[in-house]
């Protein structure tokens, strides 16, 4: 096995990525491809991998709030959506031979373990992939914040933030502004001051306080292995 750039990473997978071109639900082919990439990386590198999954392909709390729902209730529904994605990813990873554990911030003992920091770290040390679902277990916090929080808790050395079809952080939305420029490196403070679309401000601040780098890359480009090999891909926030 090859020694990676970071020995322990947390990968953030957006819920939208699970939907593929359908835009909603779970596309089995996309999840299988993502799982196969993670399995290949585990076989190539001596790296511990934790994953935080979003739930936007099924439900977004802010969408519910916009429709007049109570925001806290809508957020709890979104947490359940992340558990569905987490279980789907677990099943696919294990079908490909990679031992995996799902830990949830909401008690759901019939289908997943409760989140316990020391247990999560032990799973990682044993070579298992650990999927963190149900966000932080609290409304009003995004899965971006969950990623930062769990990464700090498990002593991850970087967050690999996979974006669906976007290859890094731009000065503006490249899909709307053709003059938008890709930033290969940017500081936490610049992200906050310029309102760049990386993570929400709570997550960025937590990463900044703990000197945790964030690599933003195109999730659909099979970029995880090159990142771990030391290649400069996408944008590094540090």
- Specify the long-range contacts of residues 222-228, CB closer than 8 Å, at least 24 apart: 222/37, 223/162, 224/11, 224/37, 224/38, 224/41, 224/160, 224/162, 225/37, 225/40, 225/41, 225/44, 225/45, 227/5, 227/160, 228/4, 228/5, 228/6, 228/9, 228/41, 228/44, 228/45, 228/47
Q: H or E segment at 96?
A: none
69 located within any domain? yes
In the predicted model, is pLDDT for residue 145 greater than 80?
yes
The pLDDT score that the predictor gives to residue 64 is 74
7 — pLDDT class (breaks 50, 70, 90): very high
62 — pLDDT class (breaks 50, 70, 90): confident
Joined together, the tokens standing for residue 111 give 């289908």
Strand partners, 235: 216
95 located within any domain? yes
3 located within any domain? no
Section 178-184 average pLDDT: 90
Phi and psi angles of residue 11, each rounded to the nearest 5 degrees, phi first = -100, 125
- What is the rounded distance in angstroms from the CA atom of residue 170 to the CA atom of residue 50? 26
200 located within any domain? no
- What is the rounded distance in angstroms from the CA atom of residue 202 to the CA atom of residue 147? 11
18 located within any domain? yes
The pLDDT score that the predictor gives to residue 178 is 84
Q: What is the CATH number of the domain that holds 47?
A: 3.40.1160.10
Q: Which domain holds residue 106?
A: 8-168+219-233
What rounded mean pLDDT belongs to the chain? 93
217 — pLDDT class (breaks 50, 70, 90): very high
Its pTM stands at: 0.95
- What is the rounded distance in angstroms from the CA atom of residue 126 to the CA atom of residue 236? 29
Q: How many domains does the chain have?
A: 1
> pLDDT per residue over 27-43, tens digit each?
999 999 999 999 999 99
89 located within any domain? yes
- The owner of tokens 């759901």 is 108
The pLDDT score that the predictor gives to residue 67 is 79
210 located within any domain? no
24 — pLDDT class (breaks 50, 70, 90): confident
189 located within any domain? no
């Amino acid at each position: 096995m090859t020694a990676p750039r970071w020995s322990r990473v947390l990968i953030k997978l957006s819920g939208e990525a699970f939907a593929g071109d359908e835009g909603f639900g779970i596309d089995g082919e996309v999840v299988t491809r993502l799982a196969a990439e993670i399995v290949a990386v585990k076989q190539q590198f001596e790296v511990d991998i934790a994953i935080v999954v979003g739930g936007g392909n099924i439900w977004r709390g802010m969408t519910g709030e916009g429709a007049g729902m109570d925001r806290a209730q809508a957020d709890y529904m979104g947490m359940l959506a992340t558990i569905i994605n987490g279980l789907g990813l677990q099943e696919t990873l294990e079908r490909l031979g990679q031992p995996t554990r799902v830990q949830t911030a909401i008690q759901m003992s019939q289908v997943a373990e409760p989140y316990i920091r020391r247990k999560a770290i032990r799973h990682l040390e044993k070579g298992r992939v650990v999927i963190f679902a149900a966000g932080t277990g609290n409304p009003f916090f995004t899965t971006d914040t969950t990623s930062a929080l769990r990464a700090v808790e498990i002593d991850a050395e970087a967050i690999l933030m996979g974006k669906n079809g976007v290859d890094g952080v731009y000065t503006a939305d490249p899909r709307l502004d053709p003059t938008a420029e890709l930033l290969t490196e940017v500081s936490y403070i610049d992200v906050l001051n310029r309102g760049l679309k990386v993570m929400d401000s709570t997550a960025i601040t937590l990463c900044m306080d703990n000197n945790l780098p964030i690599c933003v890359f195109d999730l659909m480009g099979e970029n995880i292995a090159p990142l771990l090999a030391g290649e400069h891909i996408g944008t590094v926030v540090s």
